[in-house]
Chain A
Amino acid sequence: MLPHILPKENFDDFVAWLMTQGRVAAPVAKAPNFSFDVLVDKDDIARIRMDYDVTILPPKKYLLPSYETLLDFNGPAPENVRAEIDARPTVLLGVHPYDLHGLQTTVAAFSQDPADASVLARRKATRVIGLNIASYANDEQFMADMGTVDPPDGVADLFLTDIGDRYFVEIGTEAGSEMRRACDCFRPAGPEDHRARQEYDERKAANFKKRLPYHVRYLPELLEASYDSLLWDAVARRCFSCGTCTNVCPTCYCFDVHDNLNIDAASGVRERMWDSCQLEVFAEVAGGENFREQTASRLRHRMFRKGKYILERTGKPGCVGCGRCSVHCVANISILEAFQQIAGEAAEMHAT
């Protein structure tokens, strides 16, 4: 499918058209950060910040809300139990490549048997419009290492690259192709446009330097070798186990489910909310046993999830290198720094 052009003067019309297709979530300012927020009306289009750096929470929240109702019940008999799936047509606008990878990992995780009906129904009802980036937003990002600088195939229906007074629009899916046909804001890309897009890529290649001292293919093994390293204890001294790192992560998908009973103790709702392996109560089981009681073991577990386990489980990156966990950590614990340090740790462990 040949690329098209969306002139910036048509951008507002384009978004207004998107709003006829479903609720539109787009990046807006949340000083001093940014967040994805649903546009309420056309006046809200002016709030969109296509120049955002990185949002506090990833767009994952539209597939797996931080809180949702799974069931509504009015007594134990099956006919009194009603499943609830809120899968409204949604358009995610301006999703950066690393977050497109994050969405892909989320969907891969929830597609495994038993597949999660809520998340998959929401994915089906969601259109994604990606947005290219030409450089790192901060020193904690390492997308070049994690292979998430460019969008994955088949996630974004349309993928926008800012080439001055217009967006270069690549069409990634059949649904994207339909959107392009149905909305009259586009024109076919000409030779000048293609050249501008090529130049963008050249700038991009020059900007995205790798930040790990080794190739990412060795990350799982290096982690494995550093399992007993003292590094985890050292970093954990500053760790609050506050769960911020996992809550802002595009690929974390752990949740907790509980029944919220009404006072009649017979009716109520079954709720699902995000959970975090960093919280002390996360690994506590019946009888009071806790198999990750120490902060260091929880912290190490997260690093292993990000660099090894999720990749092994889903085949998709468990860390997309977006840097959110490090930027939002009040104790300045950096996953990039930890991944950098394990190279030396592993060599040392190997030598002894």
Chain B
Amino acid sequence: MAEKPKLKVSFHDFTSCEGCQLQFLNCEDELLDILGHVEIVQFREAIDDKSDEYDIAFIEGAFTRESDRARLEHIRKCAKVVIAFGACACTGGLNVLKNYRGVKEAMRTVYGDQADWYETSVALPVEAAIKVDYKIHGCPVPKQEILEVVKSVVAGRTPRIPDYPVCVECKLKENACLFHKGQYCLGPIARAGCGAWCPSYGGRCYACRGLISDPNNNAAKDVLEEFGLTVEDIMQEFRLFNGVYDVAQPPDNAHVKSC
């Protein structure tokens, strides 16, 4: 039987810390198996080569400059499958915080007098510029989901990406609920798939993997308010990773268009 040609994989980075690409390299036990089935042709963080011939493109980072649009469109044209890789690519991630401060103010804070030297605009998910086939959520992305998506794409299957709250995984780990400890958490509306990372180590969930498709936002606001948070506190909690969602917008004062 003739050997199936290996799928070509590329990695591209936009506005991000590149930590998600590092997570790919962290799949140490599985990397050799993966490389038996795919060939990496572009990966700034790991190899020197660069090629425009690829089947699967992983895009890390938010879309924050209009000039990035052409680069994104080029990747879309080259790749058969585009994967938004990590919180920044999927929801804009932390970068969206900038939108709420105002781009000009953010530029002044970061670049001072040289603010005019640089180009930037509101931070948006990659999806705002091009069609995305799959999203691997998280800050950083969980290793098990990288593997699930890579295996599924290679096999031509739809990957299983959880669309239920972090509470499910947290309960199965039998963690004491943070709400029981008098703290609060976005677990009830946050997308699972991380294995309840943060609550398992005593931290609260900031919903870095985005929200589930049908979150009960009103209940979330009610419950957080009962825990003594003001509307502004709650908005800030939502905005950290999910500023692009409607739920993070103040009632009459939308700063950015929702996606």
Interface residue ranges, A against B (CB under 8 Å): 30-33, 35, 56-57, 66-67, 237-244, 247-248, 258, 261-265, 273-274, 276, 279-281, 295, 328, 330-331
Contacts and interface: CB of A to CB of B under 8 A. Distances in A.
Contacts of A239: 216, 219
17 contacts: A31-B176, A31-B181, A33-B180, A56-B174, A57-B174, A239-B219, A240-B215, A240-B216, A240-B219, A248-B171, A263-B155, A273-B172, A280-B164, A280-B213, A281-B164, A330-B167, A331-B222
Given A242-B168, A263-B36, A331-B223, A30 B176 contact: yes
Contact of A263 (B151, B172, B176): B151
A237 B219 contact: yes
Interface string B163-192: 111011001101011011100000111000
A261 B33 CA distance: 13
B208 interface: no
A263 B187 contact: no
A57 B37 CA distance: 41
Contacts of B232: none
A332 B177 CA distance: 13
Contacts of A35: 174
Interface in B201-254: 212-216, 218-220, 222-223
A266 B164 CA distance: 28
Contacts of B171: 56-57, 243-244, 247-248, 328
Interface of B: 30, 33-34, 36-37, 150-151, 154-155, 157, 160, 163-165, 167-168, 171-172, 174, 176-177, 179-181, 187-189, 212-216, 218-220, 222-223
A261 B168 contact: no
Most chain B CB neighbours (cut-off 10 Å) among A263, A280, A328: A263
A66 B172 contact: yes
B180 A32 contact: yes
Given A238-B222, A261-B151, 7 more contacts: A30-B176, A66-B172, A237-B216, A240-B220, A244-B171, A263-B33, A276-B168
Given A240-B165, A274-B172, A263 B37 contact: yes
Contacts of A265: 151, 154-155
Contacts of A241: 165, 214, 216
Contacts of A264: 37
A32 B168 contact: no
Contacts of A32: 176, 180-181
B151 A242 contact: no
A274 to B, nearest CB: 7
A263 B160 contact: no
B151 A330 contact: no
A57 B174 CA distance: 7
A265 B154 CA distance: 8
B219 A331 contact: yes
Contacts of B214: 241, 280
Contacts of A280: 163-164, 212-214
Contacts of B154: 263, 265
Contacts of A237: 216, 218-219
Contacts of B177: 244, 328, 330
A274 B164 CA distance: 13
Contact of B150 (A67, A263, A276, A281): A263
B48 to A, nearest CB: 25
Contacts of A30: 174, 176
B164 A263 contact: no
Given A241-B216, A330-B177, A67 B151 contact: no
Nearest to B160: A258
A236 to B, nearest CB: 8
A243 B176 contact: no
A340 B172 CA distance: 29
Given A35-B174, A261-B151, A280-B212, A240 B222 contact: no
Contacts of A258: 160
A277 B157 CA distance: 25
A297 to B, nearest CB: 13
Contacts of A242: 164-165, 167-168, 187-188
B151 A243 contact: no
B176 A279 contact: no
A303 B98 CA distance: 45
Across chains A and B, which 5 residue pairs bring their CB atoms closest together, nearest first?
A: A242-B167, A240-B188, A265-B155, A247-B171, A66-B172
Most chain A CB neighbours (cut-off 10 Å) among B37, B167, B215: B167
Given A244-B171, A274-B172, A262 B180 contact: no
Contacts of A56: 171, 174, 176
A242 B180 CA distance: 16
Contact of B168 (A238, A243, A262, A263): A243
Contacts of B163: 280-281
Contacts of B219: 237-240, 331
Given A32-B181, A258-B160, A331-B219, A243 B165 contact: yes
Given A237-B219, A240-B220, A328-B171, A33 B155 contact: no
A264 B218 CA distance: 45
Contacts of B37: 263-264
B176 A247 contact: no
Most chain A CB neighbours (cut-off 10 Å) among B33, B213, B219, B220: B219
